[in-house]
A = this chain, B = another copy of it.
Amino acid sequence: MSEQLHDSEQGTDPQGDHKAERHKKAMQKQKAKVDASIAAASTERGVAVLLTGNGKGKSSSAFGMVLRALGYGQKVGVVQFIKGAQLSGEELYLKNQCPQVELHQMGTGFTWNTQDRSADIAAAEATWQHASRMLADPGYDLVVLDELTYMLGYQYLDEARVLQAIAQRPSEQSVIVTGRGGGTALQELMDTVSEVKDLKHAFKAGIKARQGVDY
């Protein structure tokens, strides 16, 4: 079952028997809660997940779900809206090891590198065509729209059109959107919204971005 159901407890009783008994009761209560939640969740359909916030872990989480979907032999499409010049580890892996995953990248580099708004808009539009096609195709079980939120924030793509495509996708298809911000309309549309908050970052402590973890 899913990770949102864990609750942590801090035991302080040094007596083993009491601890074991208290533990058992707490676990029974927890199990009852989980069982009730599972019973209450009755709608079976694709889910729309937004991973937002300023912390590390949004895109990597999306790629972890790609790996999950591949574990079941699902058909996966990935569209990346902001891309550095070099291929990162997950892209190398998908290109070399998972030719069955359809991967499209905007390929203009970071938008603050190009500094050319009209060229960025054209690139965003061309990239959106892949996303739009996938979102209309029930053959895809999972569609990842990595860093899409920036295209909305910079107004490179029309918000209404993007939201409509997500809302009207096939009912069995799941979609994951990543990136900071994204706006309230997007948050309202998505089924699950996680905000990844940066409590601490190695980069700020002078540690270089690490191959295999950060890119």
Residues of A whose CB lies within 8 Å of any CB of B are 1-4, 6-11, 19-20, 23-24, 26-28, 30-31, 34, 37, 40-47, 49, 51, 53-72, 74, 82, 84, 87-94, 96-97, 110-118, 141-142, 147, 149-150, 153-155, 174, 176, 179-181, 187, 190-203, 205-215
If A28-B112, A115-B31, A207-B45 touch, whether A213 touches B174 (CB-CB below 8 Å) is yes
The winner among A9, A142, A208 for most chain B CB atoms within 10 A is A208
If A24-B116, A64-B61, A213-B65 touch, whether A197 touches B195 (CB-CB below 8 Å) is yes
CB distance from A45 to the nearest CB of B (A): 7
A71 to chain B: which residues have CB within 8 Å? Answer: 87-94, 96, 212
B181 touching A191 by the CB < 8 A rule?
Answer: no
A41 touching B196 by the CB < 8 A rule?
Answer: no
B179 touching A6 by the CB < 8 A rule?
Answer: yes
A sample of 17 inter-chain contacts (CB < 8 A) reads A2-B56, A3-B147, A8-B154, A23-B154, A26-B112, A31-B112, A34-B110, A46-B210, A55-B196, A57-B58, A64-B66, A71-B87, A72-B211, A187-B199, A187-B200, A192-B202, A193-B199
Interface of A is mostly: mixed
A72 touching B92 by the CB < 8 A rule?
Answer: yes
B203 touching A2 by the CB < 8 A rule?
Answer: yes
A82 to chain B: which residues have CB within 8 Å? Answer: 6
A206 touching B42 by the CB < 8 A rule?
Answer: yes
Bound together, the chains give a CA A8 to CA B118 distance in angstroms of 17
If A64-B62, A89-B72, A207-B43 touch, whether A57 touches B57 (CB-CB below 8 Å) is yes
Beyond A70-B97, A71-B90, 5 extra complex contacts between A and B, CB < 8 Å: A4-B203, A40-B206, A45-B207, A72-B212, A191-B202
